[in-house]
Chain A
Amino acid sequence: MSYVLIIGAKSDIAKEVARVYAKNGYNLYLAARESLELEDLKQDIEIRSGVEVKLVEFDITAFDTHEEFYTSLHERPLGVIVVAGFMCEQKIAQNDWNKTLQTINVNYTGALSILNIVANDFEKERRGFIVGVSSVAGDRGRKANYIYGSAKAGFSAYLSGLRNRLYESGVSVLSVKPGFVNTKMTQALDLPQNLTAQPQDVAEDIFNAQQRGRNILYTKSIWMFIMLIIKHIPEFIFKKMSI
């Protein structure tokens, strides 16, 4: 069966997404920096599912390598899932331009760089699916997290436009907006249990939503309501709040 390309395969969500797609019979390209560190996961997936897993070297911030990276895949993927993400504490990001830049480049610029190439290919072929893992943090800027949030906001807008553009050619685009997920990225935070998803659940949600051709996925789904409320708080009140 066809390949799915997972960009940012070292993250906890990516690991589970990879397992779910493999379980459903897809072969995988796992793309990350120092991809050899994914040898354990490759072995795990091959034992579990018997699909083919290829580890491919990819740096999301090395924009000028993306074209060659994509064309050198031995078989074009049927779908591409961008899970790469970078978040550091807001205080650090706002005082260190390099961290700000890294936040933008991993979450926004790099994702666009590779997806522009993928989108052109899929549009020409008139097939394929694109999944972008954005964040509820992109729905409204908050003082606690607005540098990361603004990069994700840009990514969400990009995915929305891409969906609009590719609709005619039959290529589906899914925007995923996870809330809190219990991962390496969030392990220093004290998250509320009821609102925190496990990566396995997020991965199942993504697979199901993608297979059904859905447009936007909030996971856990309660975040759709939370963000609906947060988005509608008038700015003159919102600016005084700490949420």
Chain B
Amino acid sequence: MSLLSWGMFPNIKNKIFNLRDEKSLSLYIETTDEFIPYGNGRSYGDSALSENIVYAKPYNNFLSFDEQNGILNAEAGVLLSEILEAFVSRGWFLRVTPGTKLITLGGAIASDVHGKNHHVEGCFSECVEEFTIMGVDGKIKSCKKGDELFLATCGGMGLTGVILSAKISLKKINSKNINQTTIKTKNLKETFEVFEAHKEKPYSVAWIDCLAKGEEIGKSLLMVGDFADDGNLEYKSKKKLTIPFNFPSFALNTLSVKAFNYLYYAKAKDGISYQKVDIDTFFYPLDAIGDWNKIYGSGGFTQYQFILPKEQSYEGLREILTKISASGKGSFLAVLKLYGKENENYLSFPLEGYSLALDFKIESGLFELLDTLDEVVLKYAGRIYLTKDVRVSKETFEKGYPQIEKFRAYRKEHKMDKKLNSLQSKRVQI
């Protein structure tokens, strides 16, 4: 069996080692030339792909829970969804969660994921108290905040070892519901104003119509919210609808994207509206459709996500959105988000500013378009998110990450650079 990434591109053969216990992993590391850890396969690109894969998902016991302080110790293969299933009804929620709950704990650390509350809570590493990791020498190390191994591993794309377990702190909630405000904006300027006006709210995100042109560039549905206080904690994961097969390639084209965007925007009321929605609807709308990546057909897709520093965000986004709408290649939903302060981890993606994430079907001409978008990102001093990437060049990548040399030196010093590699790490030489 071969494992693909979420974008289903590139399609390469790999040999899988199922992680079940430390002893056999240690033996595997000793006897395998080169490998990369793989969680639940939700990274879009090639960051968890290699000829040899350590499949960490089967390694998934809960180890302990401190009810007083909300500290969970669990093995790295545990999915965030499993944490929610166990703890929401007891009044606990993840302090930081990305837009899917179907990622492993180890993956959340390796990508140092962020959520709709980055501007107040920061990245996933903020809630990681400590973790254990097996290095390329087959030995287990324990690692705390502030250690160099911590700085390199959080956001380090699995390139510093196989994360085995982690202690994370959860946050107290008093409801499974979120009071949501939806604000419809007419253009990018208004979108920015609304973001700024609501930046005290813990959660915010905007769905942006990336095919809008001219005056309407940047028109969005902005959603902000916070947990309700109604004491209703009866949480059950919704039964999901599954896309049974890859859609034929003609199903997704400019027209269908336009139609979708039109309907999506038409659904929301003009101006401001208020809703009470549950955790799954607010945080994980796409998880409701299992295997939604198949919508893009068997050729696969990629997500282009970049971030720009705050002062340059408006100009940069306008320029990029103009290029995208002119190209006619669009994604169903493009996500715009405001970010807070950057952390100290060597390769974490967020910096204070705005990021945009767009899905694109892999087709001819796409990578050329993305190359031209890269130029704009660099012009405005931005960077690209490795977790979503499948094609960025070494040069573009490096310019965005000023701590890259520290990361490289650390890998070299501890002989990780020979043994731990993905297709991506080789391409961008990290």
CB closest residue in chain A, given B58: A12
Any chain A CB within 8 A of the CB of B343? Answer: no
Residues of B within 8 A of A12 (CB): 58
Q: Which of A155-203 contact B (CB under 8 A)?
A: 182, 184, 187, 190-193, 196
CB closest residue in chain A, given B90: A50
Q: Is the CB–CB distance between B65 and A196 below 8 Å?
A: no
What 0/1 pattern do residues 1 to 27 of B give for CB contact below 8 A with A? Answer: 111100000000000001010000000
- Assembly CA distance A111 to B4 (angstroms): 38
- List the one stretch of A38-46, A89-97, A116-124 in contact with chain B: A38-46
Q: Is the CB–CB distance between A182 and B61 below 8 Å?
A: no
What 0/1 pattern do residues 83 to 112 of A give for CB contact below 8 A with B? Answer: 000000000000000000000000000000
CB closest residue in chain B, given A196: B1
Q: Give B35 Cβ to nearest chain A Cβ, in Å.
A: 16
Any chain B CB within 8 A of the CB of A140? Answer: no
Q: Count of chain B residues with Cβ under 8 Å from any Cβ of A?
A: 15
Q: Is the CB–CB distance between A47 and B62 below 8 Å?
A: yes
CB closest residue in chain B, given A187: B18
- Assembly CA distance A182 to B20 (angstroms): 12
Q: Give B184 Cβ to nearest chain A Cβ, in Å.
A: 38
Any chain B CB within 8 A of the CB of A49? Answer: yes
Q: Give B153 Cβ to nearest chain A Cβ, in Å.
A: 24
Q: Is the CB–CB distance between B2 and A193 below 8 Å?
A: yes
Using known A-B contacts A44-B61, A187-B18, determine if residue A49 contacts B86 with beta carbons closer than 8 Å.
Answer: yes
Q: Give B3 Cβ to nearest chain A Cβ, in Å.
A: 8
Q: Is the CB–CB distance between B1 and A47 below 8 Å?
A: no
Q: Is the CB–CB distance between A43 and B61 below 8 Å?
A: yes
Q: Is the CB–CB distance between A48 and B20 below 8 Å?
A: no
Using known A-B contacts A191-B1, A193-B1, determine if residue A23 contacts B85 with beta carbons closer than 8 Å.
Answer: yes
Q: Give A169 Cβ to nearest chain B Cβ, in Å.
A: 32
Q: Is the CB–CB distance between A190 and B1 below 8 Å?
A: yes
- Assembly CA distance A23 to B235 (angstroms): 12
Q: Is the CB–CB distance between B1 and A43 below 8 Å?
A: no
Compute the total of residue contacts between A and B using a CB distance below 8 Å.
34
- Assembly CA distance A47 to B82 (angstroms): 11
Q: Give B253 Cβ to nearest chain A Cβ, in Å.
A: 26
CB closest residue in chain B, given A41: B61
Q: Is the CB–CB distance between B18 and A47 below 8 Å?
A: no
Q: Give A8 Cβ to nearest chain B Cβ, in Å.
A: 17
Using known A-B contacts A41-B61, A43-B61, A193-B2, determine if residue A184 contacts B86 with beta carbons closer than 8 Å.
Answer: no
**Of B4, B18, B58, B86, which contacts A48 at CB under 8 A?**
B86
Q: Is the CB–CB distance between A48 and B1 below 8 Å?
A: no
Q: Is the CB–CB distance between A47 and B86 below 8 Å?
A: yes
Q: Give B66 Cβ to nearest chain A Cβ, in Å.
A: 10
Residues of A within 8 A of B62 (CB): 43-44, 47-48
Q: Which of B63-82 contact A (CB under 8 A)?
A: 63-65, 82
- Assembly CA distance A193 to B4 (angstroms): 10
- Assembly CA distance A182 to B2 (angstroms): 12
- Assembly CA distance A184 to B59 (angstroms): 12
Q: Is the CB–CB distance between B85 and A48 below 8 Å?
A: yes
Residues of B within 8 A of A44 (CB): 61-63
- Assembly CA distance A187 to B1 (angstroms): 10
CB closest residue in chain B, given A192: B1
CB closest residue in chain A, given B2: A193
Residues of B within 8 A of A48 (CB): 62, 82, 85-86
Q: Give B234 Cβ to nearest chain A Cβ, in Å.
A: 13
Q: Give A175 Cβ to nearest chain B Cβ, in Å.
A: 24
- Assembly CA distance A43 to B1 (angstroms): 31
Residues of B within 8 A of A187 (CB): 18
Residues of A within 8 A of B61 (CB): 40-41, 43-44
- Assembly CA distance A125 to B19 (angstroms): 43
Q: Is the CB–CB distance between A182 and B86 below 8 Å?
A: no
Residues of B within 8 A of A182 (CB): 1, 18
Residues of B within 8 A of A23 (CB): 85
- Assembly CA distance A190 to B82 (angstroms): 28
CB closest residue in chain A, given B65: A47
Residues of B within 8 A of A196 (CB): 1
| Given A41-B61, A184-B20, A196-B1, 7 additional A-B pairs, CB 8 A | A44-B62, A48-B62, A48-B85, A48-B86, A49-B86, A184-B18, A187-B18
23 pairs, CB–CB < 8 Å, chain A vs chain B: A23-B85, A40-B61, A41-B61, A43-B63, A44-B61, A44-B62, A44-B63, A47-B62, A47-B63, A47-B64, A47-B86, A48-B62, A48-B82, A48-B85, A182-B1, A184-B20, A190-B1, A192-B1, A193-B1, A193-B2, A193-B3, A193-B4, A196-B1
